[in-house]
Amino acid sequence: MTTTIAATAATPRTKSRRVPIKHKRAILFFIAPFAALFAVFYLLPIGWAVYQSLLVVERDGTFGAPVEVFGGLSQYVLVFQNEAFWASVGRVLLFGAVQVPVMLGIALILALLLDSPLVKGKKFFRLAFFVPYAVPGVIAAIMWGYLYSPNLSPFAAFTQQFDLLSPSTVLWSIANVVTWVYVGYNMLIIYSALLALPSEIFEAARLDGANQWQIAWTIKIPLVMPAIVLTAIFSIIGTLQLLAEPQVFRSFTSSVSSTFTPNLAVYSTSAVPNVSLAAAMSVILAIATFIMSFAFLKFTQRKADK
Amino acid sequence: MTATLTPKTTATKPERTVSGAPKEKLASRTAAMIIMGVSTLYFLVPIWWLFISSTKSRSDFGSTAGLWFADFNLFGNIKDLVEYNGGVYLRWMLNSVVYAGAGALLGTLFAAMCGYALAKYRFPGRELIFNVVLGGVLVPATALALPLFLIFSQFNATNTFWSVFLPSLVSPFGVYLARIFAAASVPDELLEAARLDGAGEVRTFFSVSRKLMTPALVTIFLFQFVAIWNNFFLPLIMLRDQNLFPVTLGLYTWNSQVNQIPEIRTFVIIGAFLSIIPLIIAFLSLQRFWRGGLGAGSVK
DSSP string over B123-162: -TTHHHHHHHHHHHHHS-HHHHHHHHHHHHHHTT-SSSHH
Instruction: Quote the DSSP letter at residue A70.
Output: E
Checking if the pLDDT of B18 tops 70, the result is no
Domains in chain B, CATH or no CATH each: 83-299 (1.10.3720.10)
- From chain A, the residues in CB contact with B129 under 8 A are 31, 35
Q: Mean pLDDT lowest for which of A65-69, A80-84, A268-272, B285-289? A: B285-289
Confidence at residue A305, expressed as pLDDT on a 0 to 100 scale: 66
Task: For residue B19, name the pLDDT band (cuts at 50, 70, 90).
Answer: very low
Burial of A123 (0-12, 13-18, 19+ CB in 10 A): exposed
Which one of B36, B55, B58, B256 makes the best mutation probe of the A interface by having the most chain A beta carbons within 10 Å? Answer: B36
- Ramachandran class of A121: left when φ > 0, alpha when ψ lies in -120 to 50, beta otherwise: left
Task: For residue A269, name the pLDDT band (cuts at 50, 70, 90).
Answer: very high
Task: For residue B138, name the pLDDT band (cuts at 50, 70, 90).
Answer: confident
Q: How many CB atoms lie within 10 A of CB B76?
A: 13
Question: Could you tell me which of A273, A305, A239, A279 has the C-alpha nearest to residue A55?
Answer: A279
Question: Could you tell me which of A110, A133, A129 has the C-alpha nearest to residue B280?
Answer: A133
As a whole number of angstroms, the distance between CA A225 and CA B253 comes to 41
**B191 within 8 A of A13, measured Cβ to Cβ:** no
B253: closest chain A residue by CA: A248
Cβ contacts of B238 within 8 Å, gap of 6 or more: B145, B148, B149, B152, B158, B159, B163, B164
Checking if the pLDDT of B106 tops 90, the result is yes
- Residue B147 phi, psi (nearest 5): -60, -35
A204: closest chain B residue by CA: B21
* Residues 241-270 in B contacting A (C-alpha not used; CB under 8 Å): 248-249, 251-252, 255-256, 258-259, 268-269
Direct distance between the N- and C-terminal alpha carbons of chain B, in angstroms, rounded to an integer: 8
Contact A198 B9 (CB under 8 A): yes
pLDDT tens per residue across span B142-179: 889 999 999 999 999 999 999 999 999 999 999 998 99
Q: What percent of chain A has pLDDT above 90? A: 54
Chain CA centroid to CA A51, Å = 26
As a whole number of angstroms, the distance between CA A145 and CA B218 comes to 33
Contact B117 A30 (CB under 8 A): yes
For range A254-279, the mean pLDDT: 92
Contact A243 B232 (CB under 8 A): yes
As a whole number of angstroms, the distance between CA B130 and CA B286 comes to 29
Instruction: Quote the DSSP letter at residue A65.
Output: P
- Residue B52 phi, psi (nearest 5): -60, -45
Confidence at residue A3, expressed as pLDDT on a 0 to 100 scale: 40
Mean confidence (pLDDT) of chain B: 85
Can you count the helices (H) and strands (E) in chain A? 16, 2
* Cβ–Cβ contact B16 with A under 8 A: yes
Checking if the pLDDT of A97 tops 80, the result is yes
- From chain A, the residues in CB contact with B66 under 8 A are 152-156
Contact B276 A154 (CB under 8 A): no
* Closest residue to B295, CB basis, from A9, A147, A196: A196
Checking if the pLDDT of B99 tops 90, the result is yes
* Closest residue to A189, CB basis, from B47, B150, B298: B298
* Closest residue to A199, CB basis, from B9, B114, B229: B9
Confidence at residue B10, expressed as pLDDT on a 0 to 100 scale: 38
**B11 within 8 A of A201, measured Cβ to Cβ:** no
Burial of A4 (0-12, 13-18, 19+ CB in 10 A): exposed
Confidence at residue A19, expressed as pLDDT on a 0 to 100 scale: 55
| Shortest CA gap A157–chain B (Å) | 12
* Cβ–Cβ contact B140 with A under 8 A: yes
| Shortest CA gap B27–chain A (Å) | 10
| Shortest CA gap B262–chain A (Å) | 13
Domains in chain A, CATH or no CATH each: 17-74 (no CATH), 75-305 (1.10.3720.10)
Amino acid at B101: G
Cβ contacts of B276 within 8 Å, gap of 6 or more: A134, A135, A136, A139, B47, B50
As a whole number of angstroms, the distance between CA A180 and CA B230 comes to 15
Which one of A2, A14, A31 makes the best mutation probe of the B interface by having the most chain B beta carbons within 10 Å? Answer: A31
Cα dist from A128 to A91, A122, A201, B279, B282, whole Å: 31, 10, 30, 14, 15
Helix (H, G, I), strand (E, B) or coil at A59: strand
